[in-house]
A and B are shown apart, each in its own frame.
Chain A
């Protein structure tokens, strides 16, 4: 009978833990805030709440005496949160860089069936027809803001001292490219002159490859090009080199074909009309999407993969940290056994004791979460990373982004670890037989 009882109790505890963690993950911040307010009210107003708060105060005030043991909880959880937040920041940074590259009022046209610029080919007739489609905004001179572009890859020496070569995306752009992307600003030197072998380089590409400073000459195959300027746009384009589309096509023997056409639409609402017009044109077989959609799709897989890796690593580390916390809190409960038993003997109920131990653990967890988050933010926010991006032929450089949402996720994880790590010791403390505990040395 006793065995069955304790088994049922164990089962109930596990259920509580599972429900608690699940609820925790699903709950939004305002629900949690409401919960916290209710909890605070209980502690202030009700008798059992006041008891709990006074027991908690005693526990917390004796924390400095258990500095070594308590720091295990804090450091363990800080480690989990720091690793988790940094890994997730990589995914978020990648996604941000790509999603900033697109907008709802610009569109990209690719050959039908091509899922990225590199694998698309549009001949001269198609690019001309596309530029005449309805819905495209016009510049001051009345010309449609459409830029037929040619994306190719170039090999350049990497800037890491190894002497190896890396791949960079080289974009041949039309005259309207700058009007199309007002966010791209020249920060050093000048724009390239049409018809010349001149390049402007993105800030990210400049960081990654050797010799991309204005005035320098670089070799693309057996041709010499001059770097004349550096541009910055805060988007994926920062990892590219830009030159005149005709000259790039000449170097890469592409004739008058292009890979894609970028257009600025009159407004985001004009997209449907534009897309329908292209789809209805029997001369064309193309895929049209807003650049926002296009770049979001490009980032989808990589972001998902990084998030999964982050969560798997995080879960394994969290398991380790939970057991570390359990260890520490069991020891804490054991050292305070007499004190807790005394409280129970003079009439304190079990609940305040449970709440006090849980609160103490969660407090330590919170501290760990804050430290871990701060560490991730200090070390990795804005940290430059690069990868071979999906759907491009060059390395894409991006910055890790430790966003408030990520820090919040980190804190949630920390508190969940604290919750699980505190629950079992708390229940043990509350169920301690008073008489034996009092006798214990």
Chain B
């Protein structure tokens, strides 16, 4: 530490070069901060504690195949199940058939399965007592400037209303918020309506249910409970497949895209490039200073100290640039999210990303510093001073 001013002076010996290199490093880590956020938010989707406690039961045949509503009582009777709710896919769209909104027709207790979503008690009461009432996510409400009490027209791209048209009108009874505002929830961008109203108003559904959500008492028992639920309808014409919400989400994301691989490939290319760039800067810096390093050695710095000074310089270089880049990612993320009004949701740079980022910075710094540092360590004083 006592050599810090020496290292700092060496680092900014050539200001232009150092600043240019810093910007390159910052760009690389800006990218890292953004992509790693995306990767972890995909990897952690559904991994909340509540997600492990919820089981989803759908048709084994395919996710679009409905199940009989009679299953509800049977699932509720399975030991280990604390509560059962059910839902149907409504296929809602607002204003334009292509402007789709996640809309579910749900049982009255559905929202109780999601403790991570909060609604004020009055609004909840209003929803329960309004046949055509809906709960709207706060992100969605903000996007379309909806407020409680508004009447909203929705189209369903699947289900016609009783009058044969696919236009439905709902009353907004309440707004759904996330309990933990820093962690966005899926339902914040969706709409929940009453299953009963949905079922009575369209001629096609006839008491069928899209999927069941059950709450297990003990997450450790989730697997055995899931098997017990599936056993209820084994060998019937509506066999089911039950898995934890966490597993279901993971399987969807896996089919969506191999986000991990894409991010890994991009970052691989970026860091490989960065290695060359920073390595070149460090090599130049040491080559230029050969005689100075010779002087250092002459006045008594040990070879190891010289090695350490050069290594520290290169680690410091990458650290400064990297922290700048990650900081920029942390600042830009929320700005982009806010500016887009919830259309793009840039995940914030979390502690995990910072730790991984700093570890990478140190590793890259050591790696690119190694060769020049070794060269500096092995310098022969006489040769160095003579400029050979």
Give A239 to B103 CA distance when docked, in angstroms. 28
18 pairs, A vs B, C-beta closer than 8 Å: A79-B270, A87-B266, A115-B97, A115-B157, A118-B64, A153-B64, A158-B254, A165-B251, A167-B62, A221-B59, A222-B236, A222-B239, A252-B61, A252-B62, A319-B23, A320-B270, A387-B256, A388-B255
What's the count of A-B pairs with C-beta under 8 Å? 150
Contact of B158 among A119, A326, A328, A388 (CB under 8 A): A119
Q: Mask for B265-296, Cβ within 8 A of A = 1, else 0?
A: 11001101110110011011000000000000
Please tell me if the beta carbons of A316 and B27 are within 8 angstroms of each other in the complex: yes
Question: In the complex, which residue of chain B has the Cβ closest to the Cβ of A395?
Answer: B255
Please tell me if the beta carbons of B235 and A222 are within 8 angstroms of each other in the complex: yes
Contact of A393 among B62, B166, B284 (CB under 8 A): B62
Please tell me if the beta carbons of B28 and A320 are within 8 angstroms of each other in the complex: yes
Give A393 to B58 CA distance when docked, in angstroms. 15
Give A162 to B253 CA distance when docked, in angstroms. 14
Contact of B277 among A76, A319, A395 (CB under 8 A): A76
Please tell me if the beta carbons of B30 and A154 are within 8 angstroms of each other in the complex: no
Max chain B C-beta neighbours (<10 A), residue from A79, A166, A385, A395: A79
CB B239 to nearest CB in A, in angstroms, measures 5
Please tell me if the beta carbons of B17 and A313 are within 8 angstroms of each other in the complex: no
Give A395 to B97 CA distance when docked, in angstroms. 23
Known: A79-B272, A166-B251, A321-B273. A330 touches B17 (CB 8 A): yes
The interface stretch among A49-57, A66-74, A99-107 is A66-74
CB-CB < 8 A to B236: which residues of A?
Answer: 222
Q: Which 3 A-B pairs have the closest CB atoms?
A: A320-B27, A153-B62, A79-B273
Interface members, chain A 377-419 (any B CB < 8 Å): 385-388, 393, 395
CB B250 to nearest CB in A, in angstroms, measures 8
Number of residues on chain A facing chain B (CB within 8 A):
56
CB-CB < 8 A to A289: which residues of B?
Answer: none
Interface members, chain B 105-155 (any A CB < 8 Å): 155
Please tell me if the beta carbons of B280 and A155 are within 8 angstroms of each other in the complex: no
Please tell me if the beta carbons of A327 and B157 are within 8 angstroms of each other in the complex: no
Known: A165-B251, A320-B23, A330-B17. A152 touches B98 (CB 8 A): no
CB-CB < 8 A to B25: which residues of A?
Answer: 320
CB-CB < 8 A to A166: which residues of B?
Answer: 251, 254-255
Q: Mask for A68-109, Cβ within 8 A of B = 1, else 0?
A: 110110011011101100110000000000000000000000
Please tell me if the beta carbons of A331 and B17 are within 8 angstroms of each other in the complex: yes
Give A412 to B360 CA distance when docked, in angstroms. 32
Interface residues on B, range: 35 or more
Contact of A113 among B17, B155, B235, B283 (CB under 8 A): B155
Give A75 to B279 CA distance when docked, in angstroms. 12
CB-CB < 8 A to B239: which residues of A?
Answer: 221-222
B356 within 8 A of A: no
Give A324 to B23 CA distance when docked, in angstroms. 9
Known: A75-B273, A153-B62. A327 touches B17 (CB 8 A): yes
Q: Mask for B305-345, Cβ within 8 A of A = 1, else 0?
A: 00000000000000000000000000000000000000000
Please tell me if the beta carbons of B20 and A327 are within 8 angstroms of each other in the complex: yes
Contact of B254 among A78, A153, A164, A321 (CB under 8 A): A164
A40 within 8 A of B: no
A439 within 8 A of B: no
CB-CB < 8 A to B273: which residues of A?
Answer: 75-76, 78-80, 317, 320-321, 324
B95 within 8 A of A: no
CB A124 to nearest CB in B, in angstroms, measures 15
Please tell me if the beta carbons of A320 and B274 are within 8 angstroms of each other in the complex: yes
CB-CB < 8 A to B266: which residues of A?
Answer: 83, 87, 313
A42 within 8 A of B: no
CB B170 to nearest CB in A, in angstroms, measures 18
Q: Mask for A318-354, Cβ within 8 A of B = 1, else 0?
A: 0111011011101100000000000000000000000
Give A134 to B201 CA distance when docked, in angstroms. 36
CB-CB < 8 A to B204: which residues of A?
Answer: 121
Give A436 to B16 CA distance when docked, in angstroms. 19
Give A76 to B16 CA distance when docked, in angstroms. 19
Please tell me if the beta carbons of A113 and B64 are within 8 angstroms of each other in the complex: no
Known: A72-B280, A313-B31, A316-B30. A327 touches B65 (CB 8 A): no
